Structure 1
């Protein structure tokens, strides 16, 4: 046990008649009362579950009883001492109980001497030597002090006092007090370790909560950013579509518009990836399964990249079984999966490279009639592109992960697409694996999906923007958004009225009964939800289809099914608008 350096106190205390420690070995001592000690240990063990004050008081009460002393106490280092090093009497029993809290200096006390000599000490008439005890009543004829060990330094001292000249302490008392001092050390060390562990646990919990709050703030920021980006994208997208119709006879203008249209498409993809990543973290990105044909899904996915592949003179080859493959899956989400994987292949394969999509699956016609167990479809996408470095390969599915050289490419994206892809594949109880022999050696992606089933469905009809003429009310507080979409719809033969607020829309329906009302959900003042409720109360709008336009991609917290007939993400595609009008 480390000693406390107070040599002057130890030297001064060794004057004649002050330290009488040697008498402990020469005095007759009583026999050990192990029964009483055993009972005392049981009492102390029960006290360990109590507060520090109760536990320490139980210790000094036990010392008083076992040693037959007049007073007993524990002196611990005073952490609040303003000058030097001092002890505080934290627990006292017997005739000196009134002095609990008494502070004594380490360099002028019997406790300081015991700790300096690192052994139990017996002091005769200590009040005559130590000024800190001068005011203690009654007289102290003997004091037996035992150090309470500790790491990295002693905790303090345990002591007993005799106020009767006929009562002397002996070697047995020293043994008992030493045992109790060791027990005190263990108890205090346990309490300190527990306090430290609780403090670390509290810090860890605070850090966890701060991290969770930061993640929540990040998700909210991404959702808000997506909404804010979709706002200006909507009029740009609609204006480009209208301009392409108006410039049908001008190849040069159409060429310029095609460039702008591709870049807007890139922005829409980035915003969608951001929102999908946010919805994955909050568990709001789900799949809605239905029967369909895998060939239609593959066809739609290839269609999204064919133009870009032709521009780069890629040899894009699709190999599918000769029989139709019926699947039970979310066709839109799987189209997103394969569009992303094919898009990466096109993006990172040099001009003139090769890209192959191969589908392998059992013929649904061979599945027994009453067997509902889905069979596995294996879709492999192989390219001769830039490949993936070995150190990056284990992290390709992590959010915002990209190779350094990819970040320098204009079409590099945000590095969230593959994270979304893996989530959607897993949501179909499938597996995805990516392999590459290294940079410049191409990439192979294998997707396994247990979705092939026996049911037979027909091929989906070709996508068409054709919409029956209708009376349409556009409500959005952004003038550009309503103007661009109104021009586009008017060019398709629809009668369109525009409003920039809820009250203006309510005024318009007094003389204009819309077949469809496209309403922005988030507007200042009267928002889209309130406007929808008020329109439903108008008799002339009883058959009006109310469609919400939202930049939050229809999160569950945003939707209120009793107010709108359906939700569309801004900017709404012509296909989505056509579907709404055809209903």
Structure 2
């Protein structure tokens, strides 16, 4: 029995004889209907996936039927902001069905008493002792209340009411109600867990969306930053080249310009890495394989790092097969891969160190005729430089991954080069692996590329900036973007005119017929598309090769002819290599030049 600490409600029902719980074990017990109970529990189990209120309503309907009661319901605990508590009739069946949602106090109600006593309780005429039941229209002769267990505290109570003096509850009803209360506990626990899981899933989804949005903003920023940095690099590059020619007789000036040029080339490599990383993220860095010679690809890559090798006095040993090896690959992209690996070796090998590049590939002449299966070329770059910590090896191809050693070097880069290398090697259906025994032990990178084929091609001509003299029109609303390039082209013997608007260009071609016109697409007023349409209408420009200039590399994703009358296009600002290639291939209207 409860002690002196019992609540007023418990003391009241004990004093008035309202509690008849002890009689449950002395009353005549009806025979258990296990078959009906089992069928009801199976039916309840099938409702576990339904919304919580629907499942609870089915449960009280079952309690009403199995206990042959007049009313049945579930009272669940609620806690309010003012710290007060209450029970809400979340599901009600029978004559009290219209009272669903009714609130009763937790400290002065049958459910509160049952929970305080911690066991099922039987109340006689409970309306006489509890004002909260005054809303029940019919008389209540008995109410059987069973706590619904929970963790850490009870969820509430399951109850049945009798409105008929001839129907009294017994221990069998208590057993049935206790069984249903346990089922209610399980169902509410599942519902609660599902709700918490849904909240966590929503939070995780929101976090994922926020991360995706942040990644997108970062990619957009990197792309914009790359283009914004790249725009002034072209004029600076051209101005440096022009200054070197103008200062041919001044060794001191040439020495200073050489320093500036080396740093500019380093900055261009960083910007190229930024743009390539952005293209990789958006799936726009594609490869367009063609037949070529592996030796030419390797020689171009070696030429790209020759200045760095000479400056650091490295010993570079290049070993090629004694026979020409024909490959089916994207030569510029594969050159980029090999030069990137060589440049890493140059950066992280101390002055006077050793770098070795070994190419192992089968002789295409030994491949049987009609056999189109690609053979494997293996390219290995080894150095005796700084090496890589073993813990970093699994992550060296991750974007923006850098070792502590790299961060201490002025030419350390951004940690995107190897990520681009990995992407391009996979695009060639190849594999790349990197190994090192640790700091100070050097590094070895191995490329395996299934690109060797039987087809034979001639050696490519050596790369040169030499361009046959031509009449060139530069059209750009930015004067700085064309001034240095115009000066450099003029020093090379070209006749160059500049226009800062479409209208100025139209007036200029009345007296100056260009062989080539390089036109910025995005100009205020008359844009490049409108200008090229009007130039095509002029007879004197019938043979002029019209080249589009755009800072948006994302729109240039394939080798198809350029729309709106352009013969080809260059990414803005154009490098000398890009321009030389366009002028040499002026008869090829299908070509695409993708400068880096």
Distance between the aligned counterparts of 1:307 and 1:99, measured in 2?
89
Deviations 1:12-71 (A, max 9, x none): 332242110011110112112234324433443444444333322222222222212121
Corresponding position of 1:466: 466
Q: Would the aligned equivalents of 2:284 and 2:554 in 1 still touch at CA under 8 Å?
A: no
By how many angstroms is 1:194 displaced? 1.5
Query: Any idea what SS the aligned residue of 1:14 has?
Result: helix
Question: When the two structures are superposed, what TM-score results if normalisation uses the length of structure 1?
Answer: 0.94
Residue in structure 2 matching 1:577, options 562, 576, 579: 579
Distance between the aligned counterparts of 2:113 and 2:52, measured in 1?
Answer: 26
| 1:543 to partner: Cα distance | 3.4
Match of 1:567 in 2: 569
What is the SS of the residue equivalent to 1:299? helix
Instruction: Work out the CA distance in 1 between the residues paired with 2:557 and 2:193.
Output: 46
Aligned residues: 579
Quick check: 2:312–2:351 contact (8 Å CA) kept in 1?
yes
Query: What displacement does 1:128 show?
Result: 2.2
- Aligned to 1:465, what secondary structure does the other structure show? coil
Shift of 1:135: 4.3
Deviation at 1:136, TM superposition (A): 2.9
> Which structure 2 residues correspond to residues 95-110 of structure 1 after superposition, within 5 A?
95-110=95-110
Structure 1 partner of 2:281: 281
Contact 2:561 2:568 in 1 (8 A): no
> C-alpha separation between the residues in 2 aligned to 1:483 and 1:122?
99
CA distance in 1, matches of 2:150, 2:38: 24
* Mapped contact 1:554–1:569 kept (Cα < 8 A): no
Give the drift of 1:179: 1.7
Using the alignment, how far apart are the partners of 2:59 and 2:537 within structure 1? Answer: 79
Secondary structure at the aligned position of 1:161 is classed as strand
Q: How does 1:52-71 map to 2 (within 5 A)?
A: 52-71=52-71
- CA offset at residue 126 of structure 1? 1.2
1:81 & 1:402 partners in 2: Cα distance?
52
CA contact (8 A) 2:473 2:496 kept: yes
Structure 2 CA distance for partners of 1:31 and 1:440, relative to 1, 3 Å = same
Q: Give the Cα–Cα distance (whole angstroms) in 1 for the partners of residues 405 and 418 of structure 2.
A: 17
Cα offset, 1:554, TM superposition:
5.1
1:217 aligns with 2:217: yes
Change (3 A) 1:33 1:356: same
Superposed CA offset, 1:425-446 (max 9, x none): 1111112121122212221122
**Counterpart of 2:391?**
391
Offset, 1:579: 2.2
1:392 partner SS: helix
Alignment of 1:257-272 (within 5 A): 257-272=257-272
Partner of 1:356: 356
Aligned to 1:374: 374
- Residue correspondence of structure 1 range 307-322 to structure 2 within 5 A: 307-322=307-322
8 Å Cα contact 2:126-2:142 kept in structure 1: yes
Secondary structure of the structure 1 residue equivalent to 2:391: coil
1:188 counterpart = 2:185: no
| Distance change (3 Å), C-alpha of 1:541 and 1:360 | same
CA distance in 2, matches of 1:538, 1:221: 42
Question: How far is the alpha carbon of 1:391 from its aligned partner?
Answer: 2.2
Q: Which residue of 1 aligns with 2:429?
A: 429
C-alpha deviation, 1:527, in angstroms: 4.0
Matched residues in 2 for 1:189 and 1:524: separation?
66
Conserved 8 A contact 2:562-2:569: no
Q: Which moved more, 1:469-478 or 1:278-287?
A: 469-478
In structure 1, C-alpha distance between the alignment counterparts of 2:294 and 2:151, rounded to whole Å: 71
Q: Measure how far apart 1:6 and its partner are.
A: 6.6
| Shift in Å, 1:265 | 0.9
